[in-house]
């Protein structure tokens, strides 16, 4: 029984044929036409058609970077894409002629990691995707928690700094503005501008506009400003996880997303800040903080498996 999972991000559409064990049998990649929602559906249909050749596909699961409604069909809002009340399920299903399920991309990643990855031995899992922004997914007692209207676990949009940095969602001071890939770049850039002597390696690598890969490389070479930026991200992340424990009491956190590839630069400090910030520390079990195991394929694997279970 094969399904196709599609992970629709701000820059790329990644898709794969997935079997019942969560194995990706074939994959494909396309750039995301982020400013043209109508072309996103056509891009998805194109990649599904490519992967369907010579196979009997049961259904298609779409992991979408946005707020997905309770019917798992409409993307109500996407902070980093031009989607507003986008009927994505109807559009794609009409183009591919298959049943389609739409799920938030972080929910899809959480489901995949809880079923096939780092959380498969746990009953209460919170997944955090740290990339351009921050996404979240909750799997408790074998069920994906979506909330009454399908928009739960948007953890990156908890306000942590009143009147803080402007977020793509329209609010100020959201967690993802301080503990994400964008936040890493912003912090490193601010430090480099204010104290260029601390950022000589970073400025030498960048040449112009600073990117996340350059901050990571500079940090690994000992650049003081880049290391300080990672330390700040680590502290914001650890504090946020401790706050989530007070509400959710999970058995473990799983950290994924693009920034997690630089875990050697921040995860130890995140764990230290987390343990130090726990409510009732010393009198409660401490949830593990694990790295995701499925890498970039987690979102499409989860979307495919959720489509199978529709």
Q: What is the pLDDT of residues 31-41, one digit of tens each?
A: 988 778 779 99
Domain 2-111+296-308 shares a fold with domain 121-292 = yes
Q: Provide φ and ψ at 57, rounded to 5°.
A: -100, 130
Q: How far apart are CA 128 and CA 201, in angstroms?
A: 30
Torsion angle of alpha carbons 213, 218, 223, 225, nearest 10°? -20
Tell me, letter by letter, the H, E, C secondary structure of 94-136: HHHCCCEEEEEHHHHHHHHHHHHCCCCCCCEEEEEEECCCEEE
Cα-based distances in Å from 290 to 125, 128, 182, 271? 10, 10, 22, 10
Q: What pLDDT band is residue 262 in, cutting at 50, 70 and 90?
A: very high
Segment 182-206 shows an average pLDDT of: 97
According to the model, what pLDDT value does residue 34 have? 73
Residues 6+ apart with CB under 8 A from 94: none
Segment 288-299 shows an average pLDDT of: 95
Residue keyed to tokens 């994505």 = 88
Dihedral (CA of 176, 179, 107, 6) sign: positive
Q: Which strands make up the sheet holding 57-64, listed edge to edge? A: 24-31, 12-18, 2-8, 57-64, 100-104
Q: What pLDDT band is residue 83 in, cutting at 50, 70 and 90?
A: confident
Q: What pLDDT band is residue 78 in, cutting at 50, 70 and 90?
A: confident
Read off the tokens for 255: 């950290």
pLDDT digits 0-9 by tens, 120-160: 999 999 999 999 899 999 999 999 999 999 999 999 999 99
Domain boundaries, the chain: 2-111+296-308, 121-292
Share of residues in the chain with pLDDT > 70 (%): 99
Share of residues in the chain with pLDDT > 90 (%): 88
CATH topology of domain 2-111+296-308: Nucleotidyltransferase; domain 5 (3.30.420)
Least confident of 59-68, 80-89, 156-165: 80-89
Question: Taking 80 as the threshold, does the pLDDT of residue 173 lie above it?
Answer: yes
**121-292 has CATH 3.30.70.3450 classification:** no
Do residues 59 and 307 make contact, with C-beta atoms less than 8 angstroms apart? yes
Question: Taking 90 as the threshold, does the pLDDT of residue 250 lie above it?
Answer: yes
């Amino acid at each position: 029984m094969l399904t196709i999972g599609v992970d629709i991000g701000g820059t790329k559409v990644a898709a794969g044929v997935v079997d019942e064990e969560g194995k990706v049998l074939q994959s494909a990649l396309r750039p995301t036409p982020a400013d043209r929602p109508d072309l996103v559906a056509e891009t998805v249909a194109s990649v599904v058609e490519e992967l369907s050749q010579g196979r009997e596909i049961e259904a298609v699961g779409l992991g979408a970077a946005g707020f997905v409604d309770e019917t798992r069909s409409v993307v109500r809002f996407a902070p980093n894409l031009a989607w507003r009340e986008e009927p994505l399920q109807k559009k794609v299903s009409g183009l591919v002629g298959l049943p389609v399920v739409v799920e938030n991309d972080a929910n899809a990643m959480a489901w995949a990691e809880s079923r096939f990855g780092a959380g498969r031995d746990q009953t209460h899992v919170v997944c955090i995707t740290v990339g351009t922004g921050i996404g979240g997914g909750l799997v408790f007692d074998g069920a994906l928690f979506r909330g009454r209207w399908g928009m739960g676990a948007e953890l990156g949009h908890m306000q942590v700094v009143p009147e803080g940095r402007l977020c793509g969602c329209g609010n100020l001071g959201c967690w993802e503005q301080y503990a994400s890939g964008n936040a890493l770049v912003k912090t490193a850039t601010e430090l480099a501008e204010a104290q260029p002597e601390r950022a000589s390696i970073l400025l030498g690598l960048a040449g112009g506009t600073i990117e996340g890969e350059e901050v990571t490389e500079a940090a690994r070479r000992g650049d003081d400003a880049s290391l300080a930026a990672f330390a700040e991200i680590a502290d914001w992340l650890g504090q946020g996880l401790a706050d989530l424990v007070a509400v959710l009491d999970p058995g473990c956190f799983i950290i994924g997303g693009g920034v997690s590839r630089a875990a050697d630069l921040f995860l130890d400090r995140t764990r230290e800040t987390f343990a130090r910030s726990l409510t009732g520390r010393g009198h409660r079990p401490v949830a593990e903080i694990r790295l995701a195991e499925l890498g970039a394929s987690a979102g499409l694997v989860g979307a495919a498996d959720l489509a199978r279970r529709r």
